[in-house]
Amino acid sequence: MLSLPTRRNSLCLFCASATRSPPSQPQRLLPRTQVAYRGATKRPPRKLGQFDPLRPNAPFQIFAPNRSIHPFEAVRHVLAQVQKDVGRLESLKTLQLTTRQFDDAWLSFQRSINKAIKEATPELQELAHRAKRSTSAVQVQLRQLFYDHLYSPRFTPAEKDNQKHVADLRYPAEWYPATREIQRTVHMHVGPTNSGKTYHALKRLEEVDSGIYLGPLRLLAHEVYTRLNAKGKPCALITGEEQRMPDDTRARMFSCTVEMAPLNTLFDVAVIDEIQMISHEDRGWAWTQAFLGLKAREIHLCGEARTVPIMRELCALVGDKVHVHEYNRLTPLQPMDRSLNGKLELLEKGDCIVSFSVLGIHALRRLIERKTGKKCAIVYGSLPPETRAQQARLFNDPDNDYDYLVASDAIGMGLNLAIKRVIFESTAKSNGEQIKRLQISEIKQIAGRAGRYKTAHQAITKDSEKASVADTTIDPVIGLDDKQPDTEKAVQAEPQTIGWATTLEREDLASLKFGMKSEPEVITSAGIFPPSVIVERFASYFPPGTPFSYIMMRLQTISEINPRFHLCALKDQLAIADNLHLVENLSIQDRITLCAAPVSARKANETKFLKELATCIADGKPGGILDLKTLPLNVMDAPLANNREYLRSLEDLHKMIVCYLWLSYRFPNVLTTRSLANYTKKLVEDKIEDTLTQFSFTEQSRQRIAKAREKARKLMDFPDDVGEEVGVASESREQPEVAANISSRSGDANNDSDYLPEDKLHSLPT
Q: Do 429 and 438 contact (CB within 8 A), yes or no?
A: yes
Q: Which long-range contacts (CB under 8 A, 24 or more apart) does 49-57 make?
A: 49/735, 49/738
pLDDT (0 to 100) of residue 702:
57
Name the residue type at position 548. Answer: F
Q: Do 198 and 481 contact (CB within 8 A), yes or no?
A: yes
pLDDT (0 to 100) of residue 431:
67
Strand partners, 215: 257
Evaluate the CA torsion angle 730, 733, 738, 741 in order and state its sign. negative
CATH of domain 172-326: 3.40.50.300
Give the other-Cβ count within 10 Å of 34's Cβ.
Answer: 6
Say which CATH architecture domain 333-507 belongs to: 3-Layer(aba) Sandwich (3.40)
Chain centroid to Cα 471, Å, comes to: 35
Dihedral of CA atoms 546, 552, 557, 558 in degrees, nearest 10, equals 70
Q: Which residues of the chain have pLDDT under 70?
A: 1-71, 248, 414, 431-433, 452-496, 695-766
Dihedral of CA atoms 301, 306, 307, 310 in degrees, nearest 10, equals 150
Of how many residues is the chain composed?
A: 766
Q: Where do the domains of the chain lie?
A: 58-154, 172-326, 333-507
pLDDT (0 to 100) of residue 479:
58
Phi, psi (deg, nearest 5) at residue 760: -155, 75
Euclidean distance between CA atoms 362 and 359, whole angstroms:
5
Greatest CA span in the chain, whole angstroms? 116
- Residue 719, classified by CB atoms within 10 Å of its CB into exposed (0-12), middle (13-18) or buried (19+), is middle
pLDDT (0 to 100) of residue 125:
81
Secondary element (H or E) of residue 338: none
Q: Do 240 and 260 contact (CB within 8 A), yes or no?
A: yes
545 sits in the region (left: phi over 0; alpha: psi -120 to 50; else beta) called left
Secondary element (H or E) of residue 243: strand 243-244
Phi, psi (deg, nearest 5) at residue 721: -100, 5
Closest CA to 191 of 416, 452, 445, 492: 445
Closest CA to 580 of 623, 614, 532: 614
Phi, psi (deg, nearest 5) at residue 733: -85, 110
Q: Which residues contact 66 (CB under 8 A, 6 or more apart)?
A: none
Q: Do 268 and 211 contact (CB within 8 A), yes or no?
A: yes
Euclidean distance between CA atoms 334 and 489, whole angstroms:
25
Q: Which residues contact 154 (CB under 8 A, 6 or more apart)?
A: 543
Closest CA to 531 of 297, 293, 315: 293
Instruction: Check: pTM over 0.75? Answer yes or no.
Output: yes
Euclidean distance between CA atoms 193 and 216, whole angstroms:
15
Euclidean distance between CA atoms 529 and 289, whole angstroms:
9
Q: Which residues contact 56 (CB under 8 A, 6 or more apart)?
A: none
pLDDT (0 to 100) of residue 42:
52
Euclidean distance between CA atoms 507 and 433, whole angstroms:
23
Q: Do 663 and 710 contact (CB within 8 A), yes or no?
A: no
- Residue 341, classified by CB atoms within 10 Å of its CB into exposed (0-12), middle (13-18) or buried (19+), is exposed
Radius of gyration of the chain (CA): 30
Euclidean distance between CA atoms 657 and 602, whole angstroms:
17
Nearest-10 crossing angle of helices 122-133, 99-119: 100
3-state helix, strand, coil in the chain (%, to 5): 45, 10, 40
| 3-state SS class at 292 | helix
Q: Measure Cα distances from 612 to 574, 618, 724 in Å.
A: 18, 10, 58
- Give 398-429 pLDDT, tens digit per residue: 888 899 999 988 787 767 788 999 999 999 88
pLDDT (0 to 100) of residue 264:
92
Euclidean distance between CA atoms 190 and 212, whole angstroms:
19
pLDDT (0 to 100) of residue 90:
87
Euclidean distance between CA atoms 756 and 352, whole angstroms:
21
395 sits in the region (left: phi over 0; alpha: psi -120 to 50; else beta) called alpha
Euclidean distance between CA atoms 78 and 72, whole angstroms:
10
Euclidean distance between CA atoms 202 and 213, whole angstroms:
8
Q: Which residues contact 598 (CB under 8 A, 6 or more apart)?
A: 240, 241, 655, 658, 659, 662, 757, 758, 759, 760, 761, 762
Please check whether the two domains, 172-326 and 333-507, share a CATH topology: yes
* β-pair type (526-528, 321-326): unpaired
Q: Do 292 and 172 contact (CB within 8 A), yes or no?
A: yes
Euclidean distance between CA atoms 476 and 392, whole angstroms:
10
- Residue 340, classified by CB atoms within 10 Å of its CB into exposed (0-12), middle (13-18) or buried (19+), is buried
- Give 461-498 pLDDT, tens digit per residue: 444 344 333 343 445 555 565 455 443 433 343 456 78
